[in-house]
DNA sequence: GGACCTT
C-alpha cells in the first residue's frame, strides 16, 4: 500500500514512525502508571458520526483515488441549485434528536442566527461572490496541489458537508479553493488573506475532516491533563471567541469537540470544559501558557497548529509566548505536525521568523479583495490634533442625515486606552451613543461593548487596536482612523473591518504632523488601490521618502514569498533551521514520493 | 502604544 498522508500523520501521532525531520526526537505517548502493563484501549473512536452515515473510507481522500474527483459534479456552477435548499439528503435539521445514541446534548450553534436579521441567503453567507470572481491568487513552493472549484469535489465527509450547507456556503472562496486541497494533503502553509475572506473555514474544514478520519486516536490518560489534537491561536480574546463559535458550527454533530480558552474569564469554567473532552483547542497565548504551566493541557498529541493573524502573533510583543508554546513544550516539531499560518499581511521579517515553525511549506497569497482595493473608499483628511473631535462630529452628523432612521455602524480607532475612554465619554456627552473596547476594560465589558455595537444599540464603537484584526462585524459602514497607527499594516487591518466580504465601505483617516512616517506608505497604498490621493499627502510622501518601511512589494497582494527574494544568498542546504524548497519533512517526502502526485498531473 | 496568563 502506498504511504498516504493519513498514515504519516497517524504514525507520527502514535509514535510508531519517526518524524522524518533530521534528528527530530521521538516522543512516545505518555502512559500513566496505573495504566502501564495493560493492553491499550482506544480512548474513543474519533468519528462517532460515522454511526449515522456509514463508515468513512479512511484514506480515500482527494487525489488518492486516482481519478478526477471533480467529475462527480458536472461543472463549477452545478452546485448552486443543489445546495440552495436543504431538501437534498438527510434533511439535516429534522433528524437530529434520534440519531445520537448515548451522546450528551450538543447545543445547536446555528440556533438564533436567523432571528437576528432577515437577509438573503447570499448575504447571510457573508460572501459577495461577484466580488470574488477575478481575484488574483499566487502560490509558491514545490508540488502545489491545484485548487478546487466546489465543495462537492472535496470529500470532506457527510457531516461536514451538511454543516457547510447549514452555513449556507454555496461555493468556496478563493482562499478556501486553494487552502483546502493544500491542507488535505498535509502540507504546511503560509497564507495571506483577510479574515472576512473565509479563512477560518479554510483551515477548519481540513482539521475537522482530518480528525474525523484519523484512526482511533490513542491519547494518553493524564491526571486531569487533556491532549488536544489541534491548536488554533489568535492574538485577542474576541477573535478567539469568534473562531470558536465558527468552528463549533463546522464541527456540529461530527463528534469533534471544540473548546476555547482565554484570559479575563473564570478559569474554572474553562477547565471544566476541557475535562469534558477537547479535540480542537482555540486559545489566546497567555491563558494557554498558564494552562500549560499548570499541566492542565499537553500539546504532545497536536497534529494541527494554526496561527491566525500570524504577523501579529510573531511580532515583538507576542513572539516569546508563541515560541514558548510551539518550541518549548511537548508539541511535535515541524514535520511532525501540520502548521498553517494566516494573516492579511506578511512582512518579510515575519516570514523569516515564521519559517522556523514550518516544514517545506507552500506560500499562498490571495489578492486584497474587499480591503484596500475597490470596495473600500479611502479618504485622508488633514486634521490638527485639537480639531479631531469637532471634525469627527461633523462626519457623524453627515452620515446621520443620509441614513434611513437607523445610524450606520461607525468604528473609530484611537491610539491609547485612555484616549478611547475619553472620546467615548465626550461622544456620549454630545448625544452620540458610543461605547468602547480596549484592554483596560474587563472582559464582560468588552464583550458587552461588542454586542451593543453589533446590534446597533450603540452604533459608534471607539476602539484600540484590540479590534483592528480579524473581528468580523457585519455592516460596519465607516471606519475612522481618529489616530492613525504607526505601521501601515495596522492601517490595512483596521480599514479591513469595513467593506467585508464584498460589501462596500468607507474609511476616513485624520492625518497631521504626527503621522509623517506614514505619509509615503499610505500614499502608495492608496494609489495601488486606485484611491484619490490628496496633493498635500503626495507632497509629504515625497519629503520623507525613505522614512517608513518600504516593503510592500506585493502589488495587489499583501506580501510575496520571501524565499523567492532570498534564493541567491541563502545558506547552502543542510545548515540552517529553515526548510526552503527541497527540505524533506515527513509529509513532503511522502507526498513527493513515488506516484503520489499523479492524480494532479 | 497596543495586545497577550493569574491574584
Task: Pick out residues 494-553 of chain A having their CB under 7 A from any atom of nucleic acid strand B.
Answer: none
Q: What's the confidence (pLDDT) of residue A94?
A: 30
pLDDT at A117: 37
**pLDDT tens per residue, range A217-261:** 678 777 789 999 999 999 999 999 989 999 999 999 999 999 999
Distance between CA atoms of residues A86 and A582, nearest Å? 46
Q: Which of A44-58, A177-191, A196-210 has the highest mean pLDDT?
A: A177-191
- Chain A 72-111 contacts with nucleic strand B (CB below 7 A): none
**In the prediction, which pLDDT does A216 show?**
66
Q: Is A35 helix (H, G, I), strand (E, B) or coil?
A: helix
Nucleotide closest to A286 measured between CA and C1': B5
Q: Where are the alpha helices (DSSP H) in A488-530?
A: 488-495, 516-528
Give the mean model confidence (pLDDT) for residues A140-145: 91
Cell (9 digits) for A560: 510575496
pLDDT digits (tens, 9 = 90+) for A487-507: 888 898 888 888 765 667 899
Mean pLDDT over A98-115 rounds to 57
Distance (Å) of CA A482 to CA A150, A429, A549, A568? 42, 18, 22, 43
Mean pLDDT is highest, among A92-101, A299-308, A471-480, for A299-308
Residue A426 near residue A418 (C-beta atoms within 8 A): no
pLDDT of residue A301: 94
Rank A41-55, A363-377, A535-549 by mean pLDDT and report only the highest.
A535-549
Nearest to A259 by CA among A234, A239, A231: A231
Angstrom distance (rounded) from CA A212 to CA A420: 45
Give strand B nucleotides closer than 7 A to any protein Cβ: 1-7
**What is the DSSP code string of A548-563?**
S------TTSS---HH
Pairing of the two strands A362-366 and A258-261: unpaired
pLDDT reported for residue A135: 73
- At A230 the pLDDT is 96
For chain A, give the number of residues.
601
> CA-to-CA distance for A382 and A510, rounded, in angstroms?
6
Report the range of poorest mean pLDDT among A172-176, A208-212, A399-403.
Answer: A399-403
- Residues 6+ positions from A347 with CB-CB distance below 8 Å: A311, A489, A549, A551, A559
pLDDT tens-place string over residues A368-407: 544 445 678 899 999 999 999 999 999 998 886 555 566 7
Please give the average per-residue pLDDT across A139-155, as a whole number: 90
Are A234 and A305 a contacting pair, CB within 8 Å?
Answer: no
- The residues, ordered by sequence, that sit 6+ positions from A281 with a Cβ below 8 Å of its Cβ are A228, A230, A231, A232, A258, A259, A260, A261, A274, A288, A297
> Going by C-beta distance under 8 Å and a sequence separation of 6 or more, which residues neighbour residue A518?
A484, A485, A486, A488, A491, A511, A548
* Distance from CA(A535) to C1'(B5), angstroms, rounded: 48
Smallest CA–C1' separation from A467: which nucleotide?
B3
pLDDT above 70 for A343: yes
Q: Is the CB of A442 under 7 A from strand B?
A: no
Q: Which carries the bigger pLDDT value, residue A250 or residue A66?
A: A250
- Note the pTM of the prediction, 2 decimals: 0.72
Determine the distance between A140 (CA) and B5 (C1') in angstroms: 37
Amino acid at each position: 500500500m502506498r504511504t498516504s498522508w493519513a498514515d504519516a500523520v497517524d504514525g507520527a501521532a502514535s509514535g510508531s514512525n519517526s518524524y522524518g525531520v533530521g534528528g527530530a526526537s521521538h516522543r512516545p505517548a505518555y502512559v500513566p502508571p496505573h495504566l502501564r502493563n495493560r493492553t491499550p484501549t482506544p480512548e474513543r473512536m474519533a468519528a462517532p458520526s460515522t454511526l449515522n452515515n456509514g463508515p468513512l473510507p479512511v484514506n480515500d481522500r482527494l487525489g488518492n483515488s486516482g481519478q478526477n474527483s471533480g467529475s462527480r459534479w458536472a461543472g463549477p456552477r452545478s452546485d448552486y441549485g443543489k445546495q440552495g435548499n436543504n431538501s437534498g439528503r438527510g434533511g439535516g435539521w429534522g433528524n437530529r434528536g434520534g440519531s445520537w445514541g448515548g451522546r450528551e446534548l450538543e447545543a445547536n450553534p446555528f440556533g438564533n442566527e436567523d432571528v437576528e436579521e432577515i437577509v438573503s441567503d447570499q448575504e447571510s453567507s457573508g460572501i459577495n461572490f461577484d466580488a470574488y470572481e477575478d481575484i488574483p491568487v499566487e502560490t509558491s513552493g514545490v508540488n502545489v496541489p491545484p485548487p478546487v472549484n466546489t465543495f462537492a469535489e472535496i470529500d470532506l465527509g457527510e457531516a461536514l458537508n451538511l454543516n457547510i450547507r447549514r452555513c449556507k456556503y454555496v461555493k468556496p472562496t478563493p482562499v478556501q479553493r486553494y487552502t483546502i486541497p493544500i491542507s488535505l494533503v498535509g502540507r504546511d502553509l503560509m497564507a495571506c488573506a483577510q479574515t472576512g475572506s473565509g479563512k477560518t473555514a479554510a483551515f477548519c474544514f481540513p482539521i475537522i475532516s482530518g480528525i474525523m478520519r484519523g484512526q482511533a486516536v490513542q491519547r494518553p490518560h493524564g491526571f486531569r491533563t487533556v491532549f488536544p489534537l489541534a491548536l488554533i491561536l489568535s492574538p485577542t480574546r474576541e477573535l478567539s471567541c469568534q473562531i470558536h463559535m465558527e468552528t463549533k458550527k463546522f464541527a456540529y454533530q461530527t463528534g469533534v469537540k471544540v473548546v476555547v480558552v482565554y484570559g479575563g474569564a473564570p478559569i474554572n469554567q474553562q477547565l471544566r470544559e476541557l475535562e469534558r473532552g477537547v479535540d480542537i483547542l482555540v486559545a489566546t497565548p497567555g491563558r494557554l501558557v498558564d494552562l500549560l504551566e499548570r499541566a492542565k493541557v499537553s500539546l504532545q498529541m497536536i497534529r494541527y497548529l494554526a496561527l491566525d493573524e500570524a504577523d501579529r502573533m510573531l511580532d515583538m510583543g507576542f513572539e516569546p509566548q508563541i515560541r514558548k508554546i510551539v518550541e518549548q513544550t511537548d508539541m511535535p516539531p515541524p514535520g511532525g505536525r501540520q502548521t498553517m499560518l494566516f494573516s492579511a499581511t506578511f512582512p518579510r521579517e515575519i516570514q523569516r521568523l515564521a519559517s522556523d515553525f514550518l516544514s517545506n511549506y507552500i506560500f499562498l497569497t490571495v489578492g486584497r479583495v474587499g480591503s484596500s482595493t475597490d470596495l473600500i473608499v479611502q479618504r485622508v483628511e488633514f486634521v490638527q490634533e485639537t480639531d479631531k473631535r469637532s471634525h469627527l462630529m461633523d462626519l457623524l452628523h453627515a452620515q446621520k442625515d443620509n441614513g434611513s432612521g437607523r445610524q450606520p455602524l461607525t468604528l473609530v480607532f484611537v491610539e491609547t486606552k485612555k484616549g478611547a475612554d475619553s472620546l467615548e465619554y465626550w461622544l456620549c456627552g454630545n448625544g452620540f451613543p458610543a461605547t468602547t473596547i480596549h484592554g483596560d476594560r474587563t472582559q464582560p465589558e468588552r464583550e458587552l461593548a461588542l454586542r451593543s455595537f453589533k446590534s446597533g444599540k450603540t452604533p459608534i464603537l471607539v476602539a484600540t487596536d484590540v479590534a483592528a484584526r480579524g473581528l468580523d462585524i457585519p455592516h460596519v459602514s465607516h471606519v475612522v482612523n481618529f489616530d492613525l497607527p504607526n505601521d501601515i499594516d495596522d492601517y490595512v487591518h483596521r480599514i479591513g473591518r469595513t467593506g467585508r466580504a464584498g460589501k462596500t465601505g468607507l474609511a476616513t483617516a485624520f492625518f497631521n504632523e504626527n503621522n509623517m512616517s506614514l505619509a509615503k506608505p499610505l500614499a502608495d497604498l492608496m494609489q495601488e488601490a486606485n484611491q484619490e490621493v490628496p496633493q498635500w499627502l503626495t507632497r509629504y510622501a515625497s519629503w520623507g521618502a525613505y522614512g517608513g518601511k518600504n516593503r510592500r512589494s506585493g502589488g495587489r497582494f499583501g506580501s510575496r514569498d520571501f524565499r523567492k527574494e532570498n534564493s541567491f544568498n541563502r545558506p547552502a542546504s543542510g545548515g540552517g533551521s529553515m526548510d526552503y524548497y527541497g527540505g524533506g519533512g515527513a509529509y513532503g517526502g511522502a507526498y513527493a514520493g513515488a506516484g503520489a502526485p499523479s492524480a494532479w498531473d
